[in-house]
Structure 1
Amino acid sequence: MTEEALWAAEVAINAWSGESVRDVTGPDARAWILGQDLLAKAADAEPSMHAEEPPDERAWEHPDVGWGVVLPWTGDSAADQARLVDAPAAIRRLAEARAGRDGPVVLRYQAGDGLGLLRRVYRNGDVQDIAITGGRTGTGPGQRPAYLLMVGSPEVLPWDLQCRLNLSAAVGRLCLPEPALERYVDALLDDWAGSAAQPGNPVLWATDYDDITDLMRVAVAEQMADRFSKDPQTSGGLRHLSGAAATLGNLSGALAAATPSVVITTSHGRTGPLGDPATMARDLGLLVDAEQEILDPAGLLQAWQPDGAIWYAHACCSAGSDATTRYTGLVSATSKVAQVLDAVAGLGARIAPLPTALLSAQRPARAFIGHVEPTFNWTLERPETQQIISAAVIRALWTGFFQRRPEPVGLAFRQQFRHAAELFGEAQQTNRNSRPKSPERQWASIALLTAYDRQSTVILGDPTVCPAALPP
């Protein structure tokens, strides 16, 4: 039956008023079936406005999300800077592979401009100042991508810039020698094709021989162990080395046997001897095991290749050091803590050796997440409440990495950086509304300390990489 024949046909109802009740449909039947008089009035009504569905934040390829590179400003023309003429060949290749219709998004940082702005350069020679926060996200003109890869050392692209960007974007950093950079970009563009990394075989390694290592073990490693052991897809493959078992030999053996996609370690990071800057720089942030032995990255890579693993190291300076410390004045200038902070700052802005080795391996890691400067006990357990406050990092490492569709590392750790923003707000508001020397003012100081700790967690590697997914 055609549509016209349908609407011309009679309809009958099962009512009885002395005769059968039936008749043809009325002239508004079409409108009635779709909403009575609403459609009849639709032609005269103003068009309604509906907000677009936001894009999936995992989809860095989406023009309203986007990926771009951040490099130092140079003396070249803006057009040449937009074409990355000063960048390593591997970065040019990566940027072109990820370019949109108008080419890759290239942002430049110039020392002296302050940390609130970046310059976006275009191939036609235009230069546009871009606010770090508050602007529209995407790859269109005047926009700032949600995923940013900083290319350069912290001497030319300061850690402070990365920490500032952490609060509003998914940020990673690459600073590798040329052969290693080529290998990393090759693996990135192929999404680590053929990787042997096993998502069901996570490795946890947690020392425990003093108060702070015990706290890190409880706040991070044990919470992750609880989740891994309760999940049938990770419980069988989990390698959990804790306390006296957290030796370098056991770590190396577990990595070689498990070939994990995710490695989580909690320990001290090496920051000594204080009177020997050259040795301090060589060993900066290297993991210290249960027997106080120092990890040798070269020896580790002889027994195991990262091959697409993501490593989270909760240890002092595991990602690097900065030329200044944010914690000046927190403790007495003559205290041991101050001596360590000052000695580390004396090394200048640098990346630690462990992430450099992992990302430079023959089969490189996807990413490394660690700290610039130390982690304090107050940043893991609030002293005024004795409450463990590691929920953000647990969310990143568990929910972000082990859901059915893992999140890119930059997105997974956004919760960590959002927590930093919350803590900055708490510290400022409490300071404003409390009296000097009051308990509230002390709590505000702890909130600020914790905010700096969260913000100075940094990602080394491209922020779009995802750990290998568990099978459905």
Structure 2
Amino acid sequence: MTDEWPRSLAINAWPDEPAAGELGPAARAWILGQGVDDRAREAGLVLAADEPPDPRDWRRADVGWGVVLPWTGGPVADQAALADAPEPIRRLARARADPDGPVVFRYAAEDGLGLLRRVYPAGDHQRVAITGGQTGTGRGQLPAYLLLAGGPADLPWDLQCRLNLSCAVGRLDLPDEALDRYVTCLLSDWADAAACARAPVVWATDSDDITELMRVAVAEQLAAKFAADPDTRDGVRYLRGAQATTAGLLDALAANRPSVVVTTSHGRTGPLSDADAMARDLGLPVDADRQLLDPAALLSAWQPDGAIWYAHACCSAGSDATSRFTVLVPDGSQVAAVLNAVAALGHQVAPLPTALLSAQRPARAFIGHVEPTFDWTLERPETGQLITAATLRALWTGCFQPRPEPIGLAFRQQFTQAAQLFGEAAQTNRNSRPDSAQRRAASVALLTAYDRQSMVIFGDPTVCATALGA
């Protein structure tokens, strides 16, 4: 052993001969991180990276928040100034503006789903890729949090689903008065809201079909976490099976005034022969007695007042004009008839999220699915393994703590899992025979990835559940 330092240094470069030389006088201090002088700093010899930003802090320029609207084709400066946007969206964007003005993006259908256009007050714009770039509000960057201001006819579900893999994304598509109420509550962070973090409500139907699996995979596990935690065990209400009626749910909501509501059930998609009735009732939870949850009756009995609602049900968020899943089932089958009838409704937002965010005391956020969900996406058929850990993590770890995570961040693991599943399916399909068991497993992974990706958030993605202790 010797305390002597090496006196020379060789590198594996080849400037026409081997390169080596003596160490300089500042070498030891540089290696130890001690006494680095100004010249070393200026030369870039201080190699420690900056501390990563707190992903909860969307106000930071290296995290960021921005708003997305459709490209209008009008003057870019007007688009940057949100001249075509509803007044509450302009008010929100001004309140959250960078020093250079609001962070505004536009979606142009001709660019495809992989690009957005950042528009600037000077009248110029720049196409920004939604994957692979830097995060933040600087030029050429994409903020970590994005709010889609508009309905799925102009800002497609596919855009939100694609952005889900890169950012924390929410959507606001409300009538003018309701939008104004929501933005007012958002900017005040729901001051004086009555939602109580210690009294969550979990409601799960169980009819010896897929609803039993939904209860076991989502509701049962979440209710067990609430029941075991000293902060929530005395306040939680868990209604399951025969207890999961609309009347029971309304009573629990009115009594508890919960900050988080979780429901698992069938979502209404009928009658298939009556498109108007389907659109009116699309995705509404179906209770143990096969009755629908009526949004008007719901809001007469209870005001969301800052609650976050997660509804695991078919089409609880809305419908799309095309279904990814029709290729899975034969023409003429019951499932194919449902998928085709829902797709025929076009780009729709379901009534429950609209009602909750339009209330006199609106909800903070609603999380649900576009299109149906499937048993494969809750339990891997080849292993029997439940695969809802990311959902539980979002609704438990993300929402129930002294400093809750923004709802978009809470669900990031859910969407990261979708990206992993897409990669698993692609790699397996490249490296296995079409008739192999591996290909069948890849099909399950792909279906699950699309299911995870098509979960969407209504409301601003920066909202947080009521903090424990608040």
Listed as ranges, the matches of 1:453-472 within 5 Å are 453-471=451-469
- Which amino acid in structure 1 is aligned with residue 464 of structure 2? C
CA pair 38-440 structure 1, distance change in 2 beyond 3 A: closer
Partner SS state of residue 458, structure 1: strand
Within 2, Cα distance between the matches of 1:43 and 1:267? 64
Q: What is the CA-CA distance between 1:76 and the residue it aligns to?
A: 1.7
The ranges of structure 1 where at least 4 consecutive aligned residues each deviate by more than 2 angstroms after the TM superposition are 37-47
- Which amino acid in structure 2 is aligned with residue 145 of structure 1? P
- Which amino acid in structure 1 is aligned with residue 75 of structure 2? S
Partner SS state of residue 402, structure 1: coil
Q: Where does residue 280 of structure 1 map in the other structure?
A: 278
Q: Where does residue 228 of structure 1 map in the other structure?
A: 226
CA pair 433-198 structure 1, distance change in 2 beyond 3 A: same
Q: Where does residue 87 of structure 2 map in the other structure?
A: 89
- Which amino acid in structure 2 is aligned with residue 85 of structure 1? A
Gaps of 5+ in 1: 1-33
Listed as ranges, the matches of 1:28-427 within 5 Å are 42=37, 45=40, 47-427=45-425
Within 2, Cα distance between the matches of 1:362 and 1:151? 20
TM-score computed with the length of structure 2 as normaliser:
0.91
Within 2, Cα distance between the matches of 1:231 and 1:306? 24
CA pair 39-384 structure 1, distance change in 2 beyond 3 A: closer
* Residue-by-residue CA offset, 1:37-62 (whole Å, 9 max, x unaligned): 98678577563222100110000000
Within 1, Cα distance between the matches of 2:85 and 2:178? 15
Within 2, Cα distance between the matches of 1:40 and 1:339? 73
- Which amino acid in structure 2 is aligned with residue 140 of structure 1? G
Partner SS state of residue 382, structure 1: coil
Partner SS state of residue 410, structure 1: helix
Within 2, Cα distance between the matches of 1:41 and 1:359? 56
Q: Where does residue 6 of structure 2 map in the other structure?
A: none
Q: What is the CA-CA distance between 1:112 and the residue it aligns to?
A: 2.2
Within 2, Cα distance between the matches of 1:94 and 1:453? 31
Within 1, Cα distance between the matches of 2:127 and 2:182? 31
TM-score computed with the length of structure 1 as normaliser:
0.91
Partner SS state of residue 468, structure 2: coil
- Which amino acid in structure 2 is aligned with residue 259 of structure 1? R
Partner SS state of residue 388, structure 1: coil
Q: Where does residue 434 of structure 1 map in the other structure?
A: 432
* Residue-by-residue CA offset, 1:108-132 (whole Å, 9 max, x unaligned): 0011221010000000001100000
Within 2, Cα distance between the matches of 1:166 and 1:43? 44
Within 2, Cα distance between the matches of 1:413 and 1:330? 27
Q: What is the CA-CA distance between 1:404 and the residue it aligns to?
A: 2.6
CA pair 437-97 structure 1, distance change in 2 beyond 3 A: same
Within 1, Cα distance between the matches of 2:130 and 2:92? 23
Partner SS state of residue 112, structure 1: helix
Identity of aligned residues (%): 70
Q: What is the CA-CA distance between 1:173 and the residue it aligns to?
A: 0.2
Give the greater-gyration-radius structure (CA): 1
Within 2, Cα distance between the matches of 1:130 and 1:41? 39
- Which amino acid in structure 2 is aligned with residue 226 of structure 1? A
* Count of residues in correspondence between the two structures: 440
Task: Compare 41-50 and 397-406 and name the one that shifted more.
Answer: 41-50
- Which amino acid in structure 2 is aligned with residue 135 of structure 1? G
Within 2, Cα distance between the matches of 1:391 and 1:50? 35
Within 2, Cα distance between the matches of 1:271 and 1:468? 33
Within 2, Cα distance between the matches of 1:258 and 1:220? 21
